[in-house]
């Protein structure tokens, strides 16, 4: 398997304000290029694109290619499980939406302390193991968003998990909030192959400060900032594949160009990445990856990731303030403003990055309102 997976959570949209409005024809074009270049790994999930991602996979991939020519990963939305019967119901719904008889890979989705307790109470681990025995899943595992102590406990108590999906990128490698290095090293210790998510940190590492862009281009004029981030993750021993949530054909063509014949980073490139990490860490105000877990249940319909992206733009590139303010005003016509936050906290409960969203929205309001 080539080491670039197609993450289906940032697909092209017909209407940028509607996450369910996936542009199927453009997505099909991207799939065709991806498959033609020898890549096979598609990663979707129950909540992606407001529930539309799995059906989009069916339309663009499953109904157009032989089943043995690609692999499908989906995930059990453990936060939506209230009783054991929900496991069977949602799993069957996902098979139907994806149009498949089995999943090549299937994870318990976004485990943290609360969700681990829920899966142990309802015995979600036994459920996915049973589905593997029935032939409905080829390989089981989990995706993870919490501290290394919890990960160590899961790996100790659930050796049946074959794979672990982790957030890894060069900016989060030594982050005390994400603990990417510590979590990765635990997986290596337990012999669990790793699937990397957020290698470009929601696009943040595709738009680096000018000083870093010059540093990258001085070494390799043809390499995009995203290529440095993805190759960094793919160079780690034990990484099976690196997911990229590609939104355009240009992103896909770039990613597949250097991952077709993947070459790990050399010592000089590793040193450049270390330097870039120091500079970029000082310039990112809100470490948001635009996963949209926070905004789906917002009672004020605040465009939280989009506002954080604009705020980071201002802090990283000072000359972009007027442009960012224009987009903020346009977004706030159809969404709640940052100052509309009622501090209910549901967004912070859902955030895999453990961002202080309420306080950060106050900063956004001060900047743009």
- CA-nearest of 113, 223, 233 to 173 is 233
Query: Is the overall model pTM greater than 0.75, yes or no?
Result: yes
Long-range contacts of 114-121 (CB under 8 A, 24+ apart): 115/78, 115/79, 116/150, 116/154, 118/78, 118/79, 118/81, 119/78, 119/81
Predicted local confidence at residue 313, as pLDDT: 75
3-state secondary structure (DSSP) of residue 182? helix
Give the pLDDT score at 317. Answer: 63
Looking at residue 177, its pLDDT comes to 67
The rounded average pLDDT for each run of 10 residues, N- to C-terminus, in the chain (369 residues) is: 96 94 98 98 97 98 98 97 96 98 97 92 96 98 93 97 96 83 97 96 86 95 97 98 97 98 98 93 83 92 91 73 80 92 94 92 95
Q: What interhelical angle do 225-234 and 267-281 show, nearest 10?
A: 120
Task: Supply the pLDDT for residue 175.
Answer: 78
pLDDT at 320 (0 to 100): 66
């Amino acid at each position: 398997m080539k080491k670039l997976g197609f993450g289906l959570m940032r697909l092209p949209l017909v209407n940028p304000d509607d996450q369910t409005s996936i542009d199927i024809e453009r997505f099909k074009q991207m799939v065709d290029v991806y498959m033609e270049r020898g890549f096979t790994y598609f990663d979707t999930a129950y909540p992606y694109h407001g529930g539309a991602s799995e059906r989009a996979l069916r339309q663009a991939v499953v109904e157009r290619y032989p089943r043995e020519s690609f692999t499908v990963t989906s995930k059990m939305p453990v936060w939506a499980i209230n009783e054991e019967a929900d496991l069977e119901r949602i799993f069957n719904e996902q098979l139907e939406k994806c149009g498949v008889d089995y999943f090549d890979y299937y994870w318990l989705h976004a485990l943290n302390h609360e969700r681990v307790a829920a899966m142990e109470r309802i015995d979600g681990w036994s459920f996915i193991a049973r589905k593997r025995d029935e032939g409905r899943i080829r390989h089981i595992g989990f995706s993870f968003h919490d501290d290394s102590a919890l990960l160590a406990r899961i790996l100790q108590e659930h050796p049946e998990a074959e794979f672990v999906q982790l957030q890894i990128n060069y900016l989060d490698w030594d982050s005390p909030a994400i603990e990417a290095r510590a979590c990765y090293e635990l997986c290596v210790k337990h012999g669990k192959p790793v699937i990397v998510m957020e290698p470009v940190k929601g696009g943040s590492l595709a738009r680096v400060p000018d000083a870093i862009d010059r540093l990258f281009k001085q070494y390799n004029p043809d390499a995009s900032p995203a290529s440095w981030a993805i190759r960094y993750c793919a160079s780690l021993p034990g990484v099976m594949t690196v997911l990229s949530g590609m939104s355009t054909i240009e992103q896909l063509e770039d990613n597949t160009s250097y991952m077709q014949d993947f070459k790990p980073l050399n010592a000089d490139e590793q040193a450049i990445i270390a330097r870039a990490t120091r500079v970029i860490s000082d310039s990112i105000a809100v470490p948001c990856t635009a996963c949209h877990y926070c905004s789906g249940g917002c009672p004020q319909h605040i465009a939280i990731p989009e506002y954080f992206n604009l705020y980071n733009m201002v802090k990283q590139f000072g000359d972009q303030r007027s442009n960012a303010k224009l987009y903020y005003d346009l977004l706030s016509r159809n969404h709640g403003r940052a100052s509309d936050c009622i501090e209910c906290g549901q967004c912070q409960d859902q955030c895999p990055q453990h961002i202080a969203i309420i306080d950060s929205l106050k900063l956004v309001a001060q900047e743009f309102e």
